[in-house]
Amino acid sequence: MSKEQKNRFLDSLEKIPVSIYPDVKSGSIAIARIIADLIRSKQASNEPCVLGLATGSSPKTLYAELVRMHKEEGLSFKNVITFNLDEYYPISREAVQSYYRFMHTHLF
């Protein structure tokens, strides 16, 4: 591939904006605000808000912030539909490794 072809290829790739935060807490707060704004926007339009959510240690601080926003700021989840990005199969919902259980522990 010539240099010109490589440059055209690189220029054709989608450019995704990236924000870098000094710590997990501030990044989680920023993401929670974006999610809350989306939820409220969908509520105002009387539409469901569908979220694909991850499990694991990374989103725990985010989920804690969403819970705080619900308890302290009245963020409603009445129009929110969630699904987990993956799940073990076969597994009981009550199993320690279950993503269903994880989400009920940390968010729902």
Check pLDDT > 90 for residue 108: no
Check pLDDT > 80 for residue 79: yes
- pLDDT, position 17: 82
Residues 6+ away with beta carbon under 8 Å from 31: 62
Separation of alpha carbons 10 and 13, rounded Å? 6
What does residue 16 show for φ and ψ, rounded to 5 degrees? -100, 125
**Span 97-102, average pLDDT:** 86
What DSSP character marks residue 50? E
Q: Where are the beta strands (DSSP E) in 19-107?
A: 49-53, 80-84
pLDDT tens digit sequence for 29-57:
999 999 999 999 999 999 999 999 988 88
- pLDDT, position 1: 58
Q: Say how far residue 76 (Cα) sits from the centre of its chain.
A: 16
